[in-house]
Structure 1
């Protein structure tokens, strides 16, 4: 599904943040990534999404998605790939203030020429059923995060990238949302990569990787919650 091959990224100052990172992520896999602040977790998601460019290096195609080299795509082709095959859950939500909640969630469906009925079902799935005509200004931070999650999943993307998706949610709601995320991944055969500082959130994944300066290392964290709902 997703392959990283000697992926490297440095800041504008020249300070390296990721160095020769290699890993394979498979379809149907829910992976949590943990690590200290500043180690490059969010940068990694941005690179995978094509929102940032890796450093030039010996590896001509450091990021492949479903066998497609991101480095070989022009801006239009990369945009089409993101729109059709990816779903994003950003820390900053990026919920559009001038659209209703239903319109926000339906946006990926509209852009991909898909029927928009699923937007209402996804709003209900994140606990916001009946609020489709509300606007983001009427929501709390946690509610906006739930809208962002519904929007990321509505078009059944092949790859879901989630940056602290439960950071603004109470523990019970976080558990419900992660159960939904896991169920959608398994039902659609998608791959999800979730950056999190929460051990409770990471325990919902199939396995957890720790990002360090040496690369991605599989941790011994036992994902008991995931095992009970598989």
Structure 2
């Protein structure tokens, strides 16, 4: 589904945050990426999403999504790929305050010219049935993250990218959000990549990867990482 091939990223100040990262992510797999602060976890998600560009020295096929090299796409094609094939869950939610819950969730459907009826169904699936016409200011943090998850999954993306999705939540809410995310990913058959510092969050994934200055490796020892 997603393949990284010798991916590197160095910023203009000469700081290298990713160095020769290669990995193959499979459809239907929920993967957690852990590692020290500043090692490039969020940068990796931005590169996969096409929101940032790899080093010029990287191969043309450094990031392959569904067999398509991101580097081969112009801006319009890359935007279409993000809109149609990807879903994003952010630590800060990014729920639009002036839209109702169902309008927030329906946004990916509208952008992809799809029927919007699925938005209400997805809200129900994340435990917010009957609250279509509420506004974000009426929600708790956990409920807003549920809206964010519903929005990320409503158009059935092939790839879900989650950047510290439980970072602002209390432990009980975080646990329920992760179970929800895990369940919905399995139901849609998406590949999901979650960046997290939390051992408890990583434990909910199918596979834990350790990102470091020397690349990416699978691990089972989450105690190596920051809390």
Give the structure-1-normalised TM-score.
Answer: 0.91
SS of equivalent to 2:8? strand
Checking the alignment, whether the CA contact within 8 Å between 2:7 and 2:21 is kept in structure 1 is: yes
Indicate the residue corresponding to 1:208 in structure 2: 208
Checking the alignment, whether the CA contact within 8 Å between 2:208 and 2:219 is kept in structure 1 is: yes
| 1:34-73 correspondence runs (5 A) | 34-73=34-73
Indicate the residue corresponding to 1:145 in structure 2: 145
Q: Which runs of 5+ in 1 are unaligned?
A: 223-230
Report the aligned-residue RMSD.
1.6
Checking the alignment, whether the CA contact within 8 Å between 1:2 and 1:64 is kept in structure 2 is: yes
Work out the CA distance in 2 between the residues paired with 1:80 and 1:194.
22
Checking the alignment, whether the CA contact within 8 Å between 2:89 and 2:148 is kept in structure 1 is: yes
* Matching of residue 168 in structure 1 with residue 179 in structure 2: no
Work out the CA distance in 2 between the residues paired with 1:181 and 1:25.
17
SS of equivalent to 2:129? coil
Cα drift, residue 133 of structure 1: 1.3
Q: Which runs of 5+ in 2 are unaligned?
A: 223-227
| Alpha-carbon displacement from aligned partner over 1:72-116 (angstroms, at most 9, x marks no partner) | 111110111111100000122222222111100011111112222
Indicate the residue corresponding to 1:226 in structure 2: none
Checking the alignment, whether the CA contact within 8 Å between 2:122 and 2:154 is kept in structure 1 is: yes
